[in-house]
Amino acid sequence: MLTMNNFDYRRALKITFLAVFVLLSVGGYSALAKDTKDKSECFDYYHFQSVDIDLHASGAHYKPGDQVKFVGFLTNENNYPLVGGSLILRVSRQNAVSNIGNDIVDEWVAKTDINLAPLEKQAVEAIYTLPSGTTAGTYILASYFVTQEKFNISGLSFTDDIYGGYAVFDVEGSKEAFFRFDRAGVKVNGKSFNIFGFTDKVFPEDTEKLSIGVPLKNDGAKAISAKISYKLYYWDSADADNLIESREENIEIKSKSSKELLWDLNVKDYPVYFLKIKAVGDGQNSEVHIRLIKKGFRPRLNFVGLTKFPLDGGGAKAFLCYHNVTDGKGAAKIELTLKNGKGEVIATKSKIATTTANIKLLSDRIGKKLNKLTLSAQILNMDGEVLDKVDIKYDCSAFSRSLCSLWLNKGAYVYLWSGIALLAAAALFYIYQRFIIKKKDVIV
């Protein structure tokens, strides 16, 4: 039986102080372990298709004019948070000719300002009303996730074949005839142009004009009046600031016929263009997307982020990935800046780099402790013109589950038990000094 007389206080003190040392060591190591290894490639940090989009229609069969409720989850498979996300949805009618892609009916941004904590699974839903003239058939819901309206996390919204999520539903009804863009009939400068997947057609760098022709077909038994909207973007349409030019017109298409829509594009300023044409009429919608690529040089940001947030002083990394939008090559200045919650610059890193189509990395270790900050990145040409930039605002309170308490309490269990162990050691030392030594002093 253990008693005050046979209790080994010296040994207890040694064990207690050893426990404190181990706890503090483990706590310090756990805060640094994930970020001590240097990484040199963009894809060590940026992971394409890393938000799982599990979204589907709540029912299987619908009728024209019905509301379709899409429900599901977004799961961040990264070990770092994603800030300022958007969910883009596209509804298309399945096309029997698979090598030209499906007939796009609608595309819209279903949700914005999505913040996902590391490994978080977040519920999401969206409502879509089927146009009243929707024809019977199988429909595809394709989904895409971008952050900061520019960084493709899951899917590439400027393509028809690389999506982040995919679901199917049916529309029932007797209406089989419909009007739609003839995807196989697209022409550029009078020649057939493939719009499905990545185009293999690259125009010369000095190209200034491209003439676009797209047939709009009316398979119905009566004429249709349609409103046509044209929008020309640089790179893609995820960022509204990429819009270069837009216009509208009203047309009429006779029954069982088609009408070619024409637009002469000014393409002298950028290497990559993205054209969206949408037709609305007789309770039906149809869209076509056309990507045009020239030779040339214009670098862009591919992704910007932090390896963890909030920053706990343990050596997280800020990083950016960049590349040229085509196969051209040139020099550019790459800058990465970190500001605290007051807007004060606390870290910056830059370099002049030869930039190609290969995605490259710039990173910097951050030894600060912050739960609110702005991470900025930009690319400039050698004349100092800003070609691309982003300002990402991180706030620990802006997530569905607050990360602030995580920041405040990170490693708290280690220090709590360390404190308890220290108190226990102090108590044992006091007892040893107060009673044991005193008792020995009075023994004759």
Is 3 within a domain?
A: no
What local confidence, expressed as pLDDT, does residue 4 receive? 44
**Shared domain check, 233 and 146:** no
Three-state DSSP class for residue 401? coil
Looking at the fold, whether 214 and 324 belong to one and the same domain comes out as no
What is the count of structural domains for the chain?
A: 4
Domain with 153 in it? 51-174
Beta strands in 98-242 (DSSP E): 103-116, 121-129, 137-147, 151-154, 165-171, 179-181, 187-188, 191-192, 202-203, 209-218, 224-234
Same domain, 153 and 193: no
Kind of pairing between the strands at 61-62 and 165-171: parallel
Mean pLDDT of the chain: 87
Q: Is 33 among the domain residues?
A: no
Exposed (0-12), middle (13-18) or buried (19+): which is 5, by Cβ within 10 Å?
exposed
Listed in sequence order, the DSSP H helices in 258-410 are 404-409
Is 44 contained in some domain? no
Same domain, 59 and 95: yes
Residue 327 shares a structural domain with residue 235? no
Q: Is residue 161 located within the same domain as residue 198?
A: no
234 lies in the same domain as 260: yes
Measured distance CA(289)–CA(275) in Å, rounded: 6
Do 189 and 211 meet the contact criterion of CB atoms below 8 Å apart?
Answer: yes
pLDDT above 90 as % of the chain: 76
Same domain, yes or no, for 214 and 238? yes
Tell whether the model's pLDDT for residue 326 goes beyond 50: yes
Check whether residue 143 and residue 248 sit in a common domain. Answer: no
Predicted confidence at residue 97, as pLDDT, reads 80
Residue 312 sits in a domain of what CATH number? 2.60.40.10
For residue 215, being part of any structural domain is answered with yes
* 131 plus 214 within the same structural domain: no
H or E segment and range at residue 182: none
- 267 pLDDT band, cuts 50/70/90, is very high
| Residues 88 and 159 occupy one common structural domain | yes
Percent of the chain with pLDDT over 70: 82
> Is pLDDT of 223 > 60?
yes
Does the residue 311 lie in any domain? yes
- Measured at the alpha carbon of residue 280, what is the angle toward residues 275 and 284, in degrees to the nearest 5? 120
Kindly report, residue by residue over 363-418, the tens digit of the pLDDT.
999 999 999 999 999 999 999 999 999 999 999 999 987 788 765 544 444 444 45
What average pLDDT score do residues 232-253 get? 97
Judged by phi (left if over 0) then psi (alpha if -120 to 50, else beta), residue 183 lies in alpha
Is residue 433 assigned to a domain? yes
The mean pLDDT of 287-312, rounded to a whole number, is: 97
* Short-list 372, 360, 371, 312, CA closest to 336: 360
Residues 156 and 77 in one domain: yes
Following DSSP, what letter does each residue of 263-298 receive, concatenated?
Answer: EEEE-SS-SEEEEEEEEEETTEEEEEEEEEEES---
Last residue of a domain, one of 131, 157, 174: 174
Distances (CA, A) of 243 to 10, 209, 225, 238: 75, 17, 27, 10
Asked whether residue 100 is assigned to any structural domain, the reply reads yes
